[in-house]
Chains A and B, each alone.
Chain A
Amino acid sequence: MPTVQIISSSEKDKNILQGAFADLGAETIFSLDLNDALAIFERVRPRAVFIADGEDPPSEIKIREILRIAPFMPVVVMLRRRDAARAVALMKLGAFDCAQSPWTPEELRPLLKKALKLSGTALAVAPPPPDTMRKIVLAAGALAAGLFLFALGYGLSQHRKAEAARIPDTVELPYSHPAGIAFADGEVLVADWYTQSLYRHSAADYKINGVTSFPDLTPVGLGHSADNLWLATADGRVERRSRDKRLTRTASVKHGMSALTGVCFDGLYIWTADGKKGIFQKRMNNDDMLVLGEYPYRGELAAFTCDRDFLWAADSRSGEIVKFPLDNPERSAAAMSVAELSDKTFRATALGTDGTSVWLTGERGGKGLLIKKNARF
């Protein structure tokens, strides 16, 4: 049974809608207002959101905030009266469609069915069972044909499975301005400055597992450890955040760099880099993130990260990813050419490592890209 979230503060509307959606076979989760809706949104993971129009804050704001944390969520606004001009205006803002009053099962049925269909193509390992008569006929035919084709089909399916299972090394992201990358518990975390959000992608297939929105800041860099995330912000701070569900802020420091190019944690120290000045900075892992040392970088630093063994730099002049030993950050240990870095249409924005791979994010032609390279070079 699909779950839909309904935002309505009216007890009367709630009773009407609960009955209507029950008739349609949908489970409903009610939220009294936007804050309540956003608080339970990630826990509930609804298939669609229905907003009762005419309440505070206006539906326009509710649509914006919901789509900020779930860009692909079908949002339906339930109008108090048939108002085509308002419906079109809301649809331009991102609403999937609008219902008109009265909110009966007949009115809501097509909207619900279409909204559920919007959320993705239904995938099945086998077609639905046919009726009894057809089943007998089909079974006889299928047996003969199946035996004949089994060997050929098996080989083909194995080949296709292997192809489908192969995870691509370059992925187009469903947002356009990736600015930081980190890793946690089998997930790839990408911060997007434009949507002011942190997207959690499955490392297995890059599907989005969840989104955390930061309405009060613009992320421009991201680092991670087992317990914390370090988030660089556009207003010149580095924030330490616990890796709890709310990503609670535990420290916030002005970094004093003119163009922060990356922030990371090597297991002992925090590192930051300034692409404009061409320096790496080693910092204490405390609330003040005190600078312990500065090391020059002589290339054109486009993105930066580190792990327990190396500092990593994406260089847009040489078109390489270069690594430096932690104990000698002025002398490169190895470099690998990366075609994307030499491509003038690509702009590298962040670098990250998960131990086995080095990951690059960037923008090309208005699209956000995630690129994976082998870190063993």
Chain B
Amino acid sequence: MPDSKDYIPAEIRLPHGVPSAWGRLARVDPAGCGLVSRFELKEGSGAALAFELGDETFSDIMSRVRSRRRDAEGYFTYELFFTNELQRRNLQLTLARMQGMPGDVV
């Protein structure tokens, strides 16, 4: 269970006018991310994430909850996958650049 406060903070925009929630990204890759939050999301539900990676800001990253589990403290750990191909590509480029690799080699 990730407990570090060094994980990237993320805003979680929810559908149907539900007020936005927040959490931290435990992991990010071009296909999806691990998200830790106190707020409950249903499996299969959608969310738009906003977060910063390095010096780049990503907003409205469309994602869907693949799985979730609740830890002993009451926090949820979610596995989300990103649903927008163009956004996945942009993330891929940024992640590759952060790791010092050319953008097309991931």
Contact = CB atoms under 8 A, between A and B. Distances in A.
Question: What secondary structure prevails in chain A residues at the interface with B?
Answer: helix
B75 A110 contact: yes
Interface string B14-50: 0000011110100000000000001000000000001
A117 B9 contact: no
B85 to A, nearest CB: 26
A259 interface: no
A82 interface: yes
Contacts, number: 49
B91 interface: no
B38 A84 contact: no
B12 interface: yes
Interface in A66-109: 74, 82, 84-85, 87-88, 91-92, 94, 96-98, 109
Given A88-B10, A118-B3, A98 B74 contact: no
A119 to B, nearest CB: 10
A95 to B, nearest CB: 8
Which among B13, B24, B38 has the greatest number of chain A C-beta atoms within 10 A?
Answer: B38
Nearest to B19: A82
Contacts of B21: 82, 84
Contact of A84 (B5, B20, B72): B20
Contacts of A117: 3, 73
Given A97-B38, A117-B3, A84 B75 contact: no
A110 B74 contact: yes
A121 B20 CA distance: 32
Interface string A302-346: 000000000000000000000000000000000000000000000
Interface in A29-87: 74, 82, 84-85, 87
A94 B24 CA distance: 12
Interface string B50-93: 10100000000000000000001111000000000000000000
A134 interface: no
A114 interface: yes
A12 interface: no
A93 B75 CA distance: 21
A246 interface: no
B19 to A, nearest CB: 5
A75 B46 CA distance: 30
A181 B9 CA distance: 36
Nearest to A95: B5
Contact of A110 (B5, B12, B22, B73): B73
A110 B13 CA distance: 21
A74 B73 contact: no
Contact of A88 (B22, B38, B72): B22
Contact of A91 (B12, B19, B22, B75): B22
Contacts of B22: 84, 87-88, 91, 98
A84 B72 CA distance: 24
A88 B72 CA distance: 23
Interface of A: 74, 82, 84-85, 87-88, 91-92, 94, 96-98, 109-111, 113-114, 117-118
23 contacts: A74-B5, A84-B20, A85-B20, A87-B11, A88-B9, A88-B10, A88-B50, A91-B9, A91-B22, A91-B24, A92-B9, A92-B52, A96-B5, A109-B74, A110-B38, A110-B73, A110-B74, A110-B75, A111-B38, A113-B72, A113-B74, A117-B73, A118-B3
